[in-house]
Amino acid sequence: MTRSYMYSLLPTVFFPLSLLSYASLVGVTSTLFIILVVLYDAASQPTARGSLWEPAPTQPGAQSPLKLTLVFGLFMVGFSGHAVIPTLALDMDQPEEFDKVMNIAFVRPRITHVRPGSILTVSPHRQTATTFLYALMGVAGYFRFGDAVSQEISQDLLHTPGYSLPLNKLCVWILVIVSLTKFVLAARPLNITLELLLGLGAPDGARADAKWRGLIVLERTALVAAVAVVAVLVPDFSASMAFLGSFSAFVL
């Protein structure tokens, strides 16, 4: 399965950003579909396990200090797309509108300057799509499954009796599509950085030869292979995501 997934990822790292924007749209649409399926499952299940009408046993605090650190990391990783921001901003037709894009995508304070010499006033921005959906999924999942919630929602969707099996199988495959669309966008800044460090930056025409193209293919293929190796060696999805959030995202 990991090998097939790597083969699926490999062609996407060579796509231009203009084409990746359509892949991103597919990812957003797929994410909304997954949320609708999760809410439908919760509403259609009359009793626990997995029902909003009969919440599972929960507790207000963390089970252990270690799990608390994992929680902080998982919170942060959802807002840790810093590395891709410069690439997206520079490739926009109107880069000056990028600040507005961030305000719509994330909850963020709006800073307004009233008049020259006056004090900057900060007012909270309206609750926007990304944070609302994160909170909705988190609260719904914990109320439905309680302390027995799995590290991946796909496990609960497939293994809970009473759910629509065809619908949830479709949802799991859509999760695969979402990860495909997100990987290539997240990996693009890393690819660009590695190519600059290796002296493989954008050629000026004279360097755009078969050797240069071959080195680009080799570098990007090696990156995808490295990701596949890490996925095999660290199969615990929640732990790996928590590490990214608590270490990498915190440093950024």
User: Residues 6 or more apart from 172 whose CB is under 8 A from it?
Assistant: 154, 157, 158
pLDDT in tens, 124-145: 444 466 778 878 887 877 777 7
At 190 the pLDDT is 82
- The two three-digit tokens of residue 50, written as one number: 């997995």
Average pLDDT, the chain: 74
- The two three-digit tokens of residue 125, written as one number: 């921005």
Containing H/E element for 181? helix 165-197
d(CA 62, CA 245): 18
List residues bridging with 121 in a β-sheet: 112
> By C-alpha distance, which of 34, 50, 54 is closest to 42?
50
List residues bridging with 123 in a β-sheet: 110
Q: Is the pTM of this model over 0.85?
A: no
SS3 160: coil
Residue 73 has pLDDT above 50, yes or no: yes
Predicted confidence band of residue 83 (pLDDT cuts 50, 70, 90):
low
**Phi first, then psi: what are they for 166, rounded to 5°?**
-60, -40
CA distances from 36 to 26, 40, 133 (A): 15, 6, 11
SS3 70: helix
Q: What is the dihedral of CA 45, 154, 75, 25, to 10 degrees?
A: -100
- The two three-digit tokens of residue 70, written as one number: 């994992």
At 48 the pLDDT is 64
